[in-house]
Structure 1
Amino acid sequence: MTTQKGLLTMAFRIEPTNRPEDYVDFEVITNDGTAHEVKLPKNDCLSPETVAKLRTELNKVKDDDPVLKIYVVQLTIAAPEHKDLWKQLAARQLEQIMKHWNDASETDLGESKDSTD
């Protein structure tokens, strides 16, 4: 707590980025009928180490590489425990994962607005 002009105020609290709401959950069904539970951190909750790995690996991608290869690289870095899963998914499945991951990673309008008080 801090005091300001004789009033007690709470310090602004910065939450950790490993809470359940900081992840996007998926159930991916492969062609053999196996269900895979996958949890990806929201884009704004990626660790600095993960962001650095993404930059390094994405810089290696050639201009003529298919976008699906880029998706597999991103997913493998974000959730390396599922690297074998990422390699066996069809284009549609990878597209759905990337769309949902990006959509769910967005913050609601106004959440990060500066105060006008």
Structure 2
Amino acid sequence: MGVGEEILSNASIDAPSVLPIAEAKVIKNVPQYSELVDDDANYLYAAAICMVAAMLAPSMAARIKKSKKDFDWSIENQIVDWQVVSIALVDEAFEHIGLIEDGGSAQSTIPVFGVSGPTRLIDSHRAR
């Protein structure tokens, strides 16, 4: 999330309502998770991190102070829509899950369609 432990503590990350739930969401989508090695294990780890961050993102507005002021300076943080960030992190988690190979072939969670050129149109004009 790009913040220090003073804003987001390890206890908040390890909370029973965050870490175990995020891991379970990822594991449910990767049934062979215990057998993964090399890059696939790294993708699983990255997906779990994204899912934890996605679960914590909505609470960041309350955790991060809007501004800091002193007698001779002031800093104001930019406004972030943490709900949008959360959705993007969930999408990123599933992108990592999609990179995990299943039995030697890429996991087919999202169908891929190829579109060929306008060959029928050209052939129909030739036939005239």
Q: TM-score, normalised by structure 1?
A: 0.29
Q: TM-score, normalised by structure 2?
A: 0.27
Structure number with the higher strand fraction is 1
Bigger Rg over Cα: 2
Structure number with the higher helix fraction is 2
